[in-house]
């Protein structure tokens, strides 16, 4: 059971850790997750989504049933996501100055691994259904 002193300390800490207070600070923090667009689902990127749909239809063939078509569409979407991730990684690699090795740039590069692992998992699961 928490003491009155601990409860008061928790409330004081909560008042200090509520995030940005100004409109500019809130706007800046809302943009934290939108650096490269990889957290955005592929369905919101219409050009890439259409490309993935075309690949999925081509892979499924004309005699595919609904289940096969769904699985091939999922494989195609995961593959297009992997291509997007690799393109962003190549752009970051080209922008990194090897001489100074900025740790911020290296952290951004390492953060792409999470997106790539997720896309690999989606592709593997969809492939297993085929």
Q: Which residues contact 58 (CB under 8 A, 6 or more apart)?
A: none
Structure tokens at 54: 């075309």
Number of Cβ within 10 Å of residue 93's Cβ equals 11
User: Smallest Cα–Cα separation from 38: which of 108, 99, 130?
Assistant: 108
Mean pLDDT of 49-69: 79
Tell me the whole-structure pTM to 2 decimals. 0.61
Provide the Cα torsion 67, 72, 75, 78; round to 10°.
-90
Rounded to a whole number of angstroms, the CA Rg of the chain reads 22
Q: Which residues contact 10 (CB under 8 A, 6 or more apart)?
A: 2
For residue 106, what are the CA distances in angstroms to 9, 31, 40, 58, 113? 37, 20, 22, 38, 12
Mean pLDDT of 26-39: 68
Contact at 8 Å (CB) between 72 and 54?
no
Mean pLDDT of 50-66: 79
* pLDDT for res 41: 61
For residue 42, what are the CA distances in angstroms to 8, 32, 48, 83? 46, 19, 7, 12
Residue 44, pLDDT above cutoff 60: no
């Amino acid at each position: 059971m928490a003491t009155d002193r601990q409860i008061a300390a928790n409330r004081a800490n909560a008042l200090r850790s509520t995030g940005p207070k100004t409109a500019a600070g809130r706007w800046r923090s809302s943009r934290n997750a939108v650096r490269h667009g990889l957290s955005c689902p592929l369905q919101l990127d219409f050009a890439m989504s259409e490309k993935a749909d075309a690949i999925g239809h081509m892979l499924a063939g004309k005699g595919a049933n609904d289940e096969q078509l769904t699985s091939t569409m999922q494989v195609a979407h995961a593959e297009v996501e992997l291509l997007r991730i690799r393109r962003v990684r190549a752009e970051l690699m080209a922008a990194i100055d090897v001489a100074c090795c900025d740790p911020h740039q290296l952290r951004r590069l390492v953060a792409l691994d999470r997106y790539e692992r997720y896309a690999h998992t989606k592709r593997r699961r969809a492939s297993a259904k085929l």
